[in-house]
Amino acid sequence: METPQVLSASVRTLHTLPEEKPDLAAMRRWVGALLGDLPEDVRLDVLLVCTELASNAYEHADGPRTVRVHRHEDFVRIEVDDHTPADLPQLGESRLGDSRGRGLMLIAQLSRCWGTRAFPGGKTVWSEVSA
């Protein structure tokens, strides 16, 4: 995977995630390079949100999966698409027990807003992190 240049404001880029085995470290390097000029605390928040969204797509949905990063003047929008349209994720208690299922709560805390959007054959889960 090539290292992209730093994204300027109002630029969006797309990354297709591997089909079978997630390579979240490679995705984090890619996103970190895109946002290399942002303050470290903002970059780390974006990386954590990206990791949670992508992990959820592997855990709960079918591929193909893609990650989009759209940089604006005052926030970064992260979108992860998958191809399981059934249940849109909802914030609430974990059905996986006490030690799992807190990703959306974490995303909600780090984001200025987040949500879901269905499309034919799949869904997008997105988050906006203030920059």
The DSSP-derived string for 49-85 is HHHHHHHHHHHH--S--EEEEEE-SSEEEEEEEES--
pLDDT interval class at 9 (50, 70, 90): low
Average of pLDDT values for 91-110? 72
pTM recorded for the entire structure: 0.84
What's the whole-number average pLDDT of the chain?
A: 84
Strand order in the sheet with 66-71: 11-16, 66-71, 75-82, 122-130, 113-119
pLDDT interval class at 91 (50, 70, 90): low
